Structure 1
Amino acid sequence: MYITITPQKIGGNYSKSAAGFVAYLEKENQELTPDEMEHFFNQYEDHISADKVTREIDGNTAKLEKTEPRFYSITVSPSKYELKQLQNNSEDLKKYTRELMKDYVASFNREINGRPVSIDDVKYFAKIEHSRSFKGSDKQVRENQPFASEILKLKSEVRKINRGEMQGSIADREQRIAQLEKQAPHRQNGERIVQGMKKEGSQSHIHIIVSRKDASNRFSLSPGSKYKASSVELNGKIVRRGFDRD
C-alpha cells in the first residue's frame, strides 16, 4: 500500500475553489455508463454528487489566507497483490478508506475543545478509480521520448513530401519509423508506450479530498504540519501540535 498526502497545489496562491480538482476526479466516469460509474463517498454516505463535494469543500475555508491550501489530496495505491485479495473491489476499497480515515484523524497530535480529533471532525470525500494512464513524468514515457521525437519528425517529413513541399523518399522514412517503433525500450501489448496510454492490469486506487478546516469550519487540521508530534506553551497553556505521517 502506497499513500501520498499533498496540498491543493505547490507554490503561489491557491485556487478559491476545489471545482477543478473535483472535475479531474470525474474524468473516468466520462467513459462509463451510469451503472459503471464510481461516485464520491465519505464516512457515512454513498453516491455523493460532484457539485456537493465542490460546494462543501469551498464552503469550509473560513479565515484561510490565499497562500494556504483549502484542501489536501490523499492518494491510496494498493499493490497488485493486495488488489487480488479483494472479494468486491469497490465495496472493499470503500470499507478500507473509511478505516484509513480513522487512522488519519488519530495521527493529529492535537485536541478540539479538549478532546482528541475524531472522524466526525474531518470533512472529506473519496472516489475510487480503476484505471491509470501513463504520464509525461513516467520513466517509460521519458525514456521513449527520443524515439517519439524522431518518429514525429519523420512523419512530418512524409506529409511535406506528399504535399510537394520537400524532396525525398517516403518509403525510406516509413521504414525508419517502423524501426524506431521496434527500438523504443518500453512497450505494452506490442505498442510503444506514450503519454495518455492506459496502463494494463489491475490499477484500482483511491483519491481522497479532505478539507483543511475541520467540519465546524473553526479549526485548522493540516496534515502538512512540519511538526510530527510536539507540545508548545502558548499564552501560558500547553498546546499539542503536529501530524504523524507514519
Structure 2
Amino acid sequence: MPISKPHSTLGATNTSSCIDLAMYLEKENNDLDKLLQKTNSISKKREIESRKQFFFSHSKNNISTNEVISNIDSNIKKLGKTDAKYFAPTINFSPQELKYMLQIVSNRKEVKNIWELNNKDYVHFCDKIKEYTKVIMTNYAKNFNRENKGLKSGKDLVYFAKIEHFRKFKGTDKEVINGDYKVGDFKPGINSHVHIIVSRKDKTQRLKLTPITKERSTTRTIGGNTYHVGFDRMKWINMNEKSFDDFFHYKRRERERFNNQYILKNGSPKEKEALLKEIEIKEQSIEKTKHHAKNYTRNTSKGRSW
C-alpha cells in the first residue's frame, strides 16, 4: 500500500520559514551535479541532467525552490509566531507497487534500477507519479471535511511536491550495522517516493488545516457557527490505496491491503489467526477463478473454426 505520512517536519521546525526543508529537498539534484562533474561524455551529461527533478504543484511543473519558499512563507495570514506554518507529507510506495508501475510504463518484465529506463520511459514514470500525487492531495483536502467552506480538492491547497528516486543508508540500518554498506551509500533497487510541502492555510487563507491533529472527525459549535475539524490519517491512507488501485488498474493482493497489514502487525494473536484464514480462503477463491477462466478460454479457442 502507498503509505502517506502527514509529517509535521523532516528535521526542521515548521513554525517559521520552509527554507531549510525546501533546500534539503535539493539533495538529489546536488548528488546529480556531483555526477556531472565526474564525466566528460556529452551524452552522459545530458542523461544525468535530464534525471533532475523539480517541484510541481496541482497546476504547474518545473517550479523553482525560491518560488516554493516564497509561496509557502507568504501563505500565513493570521498565524501566530509559534503556530505551524506548513507540513511535510511523504508518499512511499511498496516494492510491489513500484515494480508494477515500472512494468506498465516501460512494457518490461522487470526494471532493477531507475537508470535502466530510457528517457521517454523515465519521463512517463515521473508523470504518472505526479498525476497520482495530485489525486492524493485531493484526498488530503477532502479528508478535512470542509467542502462547505470551499475546500474541495488539491487545487484549493497551497502545496509543492518533489519526486526522489534514491535513498541512502543511515547508521541505524541493519545493512550498515552488519558492515555490508556504509552510511551515505545509495540503497540498491527502486526507491522512488514523493516529498510534499503543504501550507497550514488553504489557498484563501481562511482555513487552518492540521493533518497531525489527534481529532479524527469532530463537529463544533462556537458563537452559533457550526464547523468541522479533524483529520483521519488511517482514512487518508485507505483513500490513497484505493486511488492507487483505480488509477493504475492495480489488482491488489489481500495481504497487501493496509487494513490487513495493520492487523497483522498490531492485532491480537486471535485477530491475526482469523485474518490469515480469511486471506487464505479469499486467495484460494481468486486462484480457482483464474484457473477456471484460463481453462475456459483454452477450451473455447480449440472449438473455433477460424
Classify the TM-score, shorter chain. 0.7 to 0.9
For the pair 1:194 / 2:187, whether they are aligned, the reply is no
Question: Which of 227, 236, 244 is 2:232 aligned to?
Answer: 244
Q: Residue 233 of structure 2: SS of its match in structure 1?
A: coil
Residue 222 of structure 1 and its aligned partner are, at CA, apart by: 1.1
For the pair 1:138 / 2:173, whether they are aligned, the reply is yes
Question: Which of the pair has more CA radius of gyration?
Answer: 1
In structure 2, how many angstroms separate the alpha carbons of the residues matched to 1:61 and 1:94? 26
Greater share of strand: 1
May I ask how many residue pairs the two structures share in their alignment?
197
C-alpha contact (below 8 Å) 1:111/1:240 kept by paired residues: no
The equivalent residue for 1:178 is none
TM-score with structure 2 setting the length: 0.60
Residue 244 of structure 1 and its aligned partner are, at CA, apart by: 1.5
C-alpha contact (below 8 Å) 2:59/2:155 kept by paired residues: no
The equivalent residue for 1:29 is 29
Residue type of the alignment partner of 2:9? Q
Question: Which of 160, 163, 167 is 1:128 aligned to?
Answer: 163
Residue type of the alignment partner of 1:229? S
Q: Residue 53 of structure 2: SS of its match in structure 1?
A: coil
Residue 80 of structure 1 and its aligned partner are, at CA, apart by: 1.5
Question: Which of 215, 218, 229 is 1:230 aligned to?
Answer: 218
Question: Cα distance 1:205–1:222, how it changes in 2: closer, same or farther (>3 A)?
Answer: same
Question: Which of 80, 92, 96 is 1:77 aligned to?
Answer: 92
Question: Which of 119, 125, 133 is 2:154 aligned to?
Answer: 119
Structure 1 residue ranges without an equivalent (≥5): 145-184, 188-192
C-alpha contact (below 8 Å) 1:133/1:195 kept by paired residues: yes
Question: Which of 206, 209, 216 is 2:204 aligned to?
Answer: 216
Question: Cα distance 1:111–1:10, how it changes in 2: closer, same or farther (>3 A)?
Answer: farther
Residue type of the alignment partner of 1:50? T
In structure 1, how many angstroms separate the alpha carbons of the residues matched to 2:139 and 2:86? 18
Greater share of helix: 2
Moved more, 85-94 or 116-125: 116-125
C-alpha contact (below 8 Å) 1:110/1:242 kept by paired residues: no
Residue type of the alignment partner of 2:92? S
C-alpha contact (below 8 Å) 1:14/1:66 kept by paired residues: no
Question: Which of 80, 86, 89 is 1:65 aligned to?
Answer: 80
C-alpha contact (below 8 Å) 1:106/1:117 kept by paired residues: yes
TM-score with structure 1 setting the length: 0.74
C-alpha contact (below 8 Å) 2:10/2:21 kept by paired residues: no
C-alpha contact (below 8 Å) 1:131/1:198 kept by paired residues: yes
Residue type of the alignment partner of 1:107? N
State the Cα deviation string for residues 110-130 of structure 1 (Å, max 9, x = none). 3554x4543222100000000
In structure 2, how many angstroms separate the alpha carbons of the residues matched to 1:199 and 1:10? 21
In structure 2, how many angstroms separate the alpha carbons of the residues matched to 1:62 and 1:116? 17
C-alpha contact (below 8 Å) 1:124/1:208 kept by paired residues: yes
| Larger RCO of the pair (alpha carbons < 8 Å, separation 6+) | 1
Residue 62 of structure 1 and its aligned partner are, at CA, apart by: 1.8
Residue 64 of structure 1 and its aligned partner are, at CA, apart by: 1.8
Residues 90-169 of structure 1: pairs in structure 2 closer than 5 A: 90-111=126-147, 113=149, 115-141=150-176, 144=177
Residue 22 of structure 1 and its aligned partner are, at CA, apart by: 0.6
Across the aligned residues of Structure 1 and Structure 2, the Cα RMSD in angstroms comes to 2.0
Residue 9 of structure 1 and its aligned partner are, at CA, apart by: 6.1
